[in-house]
Amino acid sequence: MAKLTISDLSLKDKRLLVRVDFNAPQDKQGNITDDIRIRASLPTIKYALDNGVSKLILMSHLGRPKGEIKDSLKMDKVAARLEALISQPVLKLDDCVGEAVEKAIADSREKVILLENLRFHKEEEKNDSDFAKGLAKLGDLFVNDAFGSAHRAHASTEGVTHHLKSAAGFLLEKEIKYLGDTLANPELPFVVILGGAKVSDKIAVIENLLPKAQKFLIGGGMAYTFLKAVGVEIGKSLLDKERLDFAKNIIDLAKKQNKAIVLPVDHIAATAIDNPGSAQLIKGLNLPSDLMGLDIGPRSIEIFKDELKDAKTMLWNGPLGVSEIEAFSRGTKEIMTYITELDAATILGGGDTAAAASLFGLTDKITHISTGGGASLEYMEGKTLPGIAALSDK
């Protein structure tokens, strides 16, 4: 069933309560080091302001305060960054529920109001009904634009929908379109690129997408469990021993279904991640016992490109090497650059993959980069996310 979106709501003179994901990374001084999550909700914020809301009340969590007030996790610096981005004043409140908050909103001259960190209250993560009711009292309508929290049934994502007409913001709508609709019915050929460290993180994704995708290109640390499963010597490379049988079964199942599992045929290896000076090319499949594979090699890059050239839909989760270290970044960088040149829908899921796109200056050339970590994985696994399921149906 299709869900209401912000475009379906009549916003004029309404108090609009919006759940955003302003969980921005900070340094030890509390300064925001990356505002991509704040920027991601700007289309929804600007649309609400352009369409005549009387008040725009924004709510988010920041970090993991576990129900305690922590000065380092207050929303003040987030409010300051938002104010700069939208070029208008933002009133930041000292709490998120209660009579004082209700009065401050009613009396405020500012149109945009940011509530204090939701997770200063234990009731938020417990999805406490009274806490959800307290949040709902602040608005006439509710919009969820926090995909990164959509896999959690919290008071601000699921509980509040029991009291207000609820819709998806533009960011959430985009995530539903690409991670939901596109992956449910992808234009073929559909190729999945998987990397990152652990096989265990990707088991459900592989199982969900195996019937839909024609090819899986596997790199990163997880490739070595698959290589070990087919008898390759992997030296000191990352190995998920408990998943060896799973890897072998997937390879066998893919063969039966005429699906391709493409693994690296050469490697950039080193004695340790923190010793990039020891990086060397291993031209064959097998790795010496004293080295660990930390990136795919040049032959693997060319094979991966060849497998991708005809793709119409691509999903990528997890870098193909330790992409934040230059010596081990070539595989991820070259393949990511290559897919931006193809006539295909390119979808990146997961924080490390998004960080790689940003590092290589490719963010604007990707069709869709998911803003959710755990939420992205669960959606790709085919799970129902409570923060989406709870929204009002069209």
Three-class secondary structure of residue 348 per DSSP = strand
Backbone angles phi, psi at 347, to 5 degrees: -125, 125
Q: Which residues pair with 80 in a beta bridge?
A: none
Cβ atoms of 16 and 57 within 8 Å: the answer is yes
* E strand spans, the chain: 15-19, 55-59, 90-92, 112-114, 141-144, 166-168, 190-194, 215-218, 260-262, 267-270, 280-282, 292-296, 313-317, 345-348, 368-369
Sheet holding 368-369, edge to edge: 260-262, 215-218, 190-194, 313-317, 345-348, 368-369
Q: Give catalytic status of residue 243 as yes or no.
A: no
| Given 63, 373, 374, 382, the catalytic residue | 374
Pairing between β-strand 215-218 and β-strand 260-262 as defined by DSSP bridges: parallel
Cβ atoms of 83 and 92 within 8 Å: the answer is no
Q: Give catalytic status of residue 74 as yes or no.
A: no
Pairing between β-strand 112-114 and β-strand 368-369 as defined by DSSP bridges: unpaired
For residue 73, what are the CA distances in angstroms to 25, 65, 115, 191, 209?
Answer: 11, 7, 13, 40, 38
Q: Give catalytic status of residue 3 as yes or no.
A: no
| Given 3, 37, 228, 333, the catalytic residue | 37
Q: Give catalytic status of residue 373 as yes or no.
A: no
| Given 198, 236, 299, 312, the catalytic residue | 198
Tokens, residue 37: 């999550």
Q: How far apart, in whole angstroms, are the C-alpha atoms of residue 338 and residue 353?
A: 15
Pairing between β-strand 90-92 and β-strand 260-262 as defined by DSSP bridges: unpaired
Q: How far apart, in whole angstroms, are the C-alpha atoms of residue 80 and residue 74?
A: 12
| Given 126, 236, 312, 351, the catalytic residue | 351
In the chain, the amino acid numbered 191 is: V
Three-class secondary structure of residue 232 per DSSP = coil
Give the residue numbers marked as catalytic.
37, 198, 351, 374
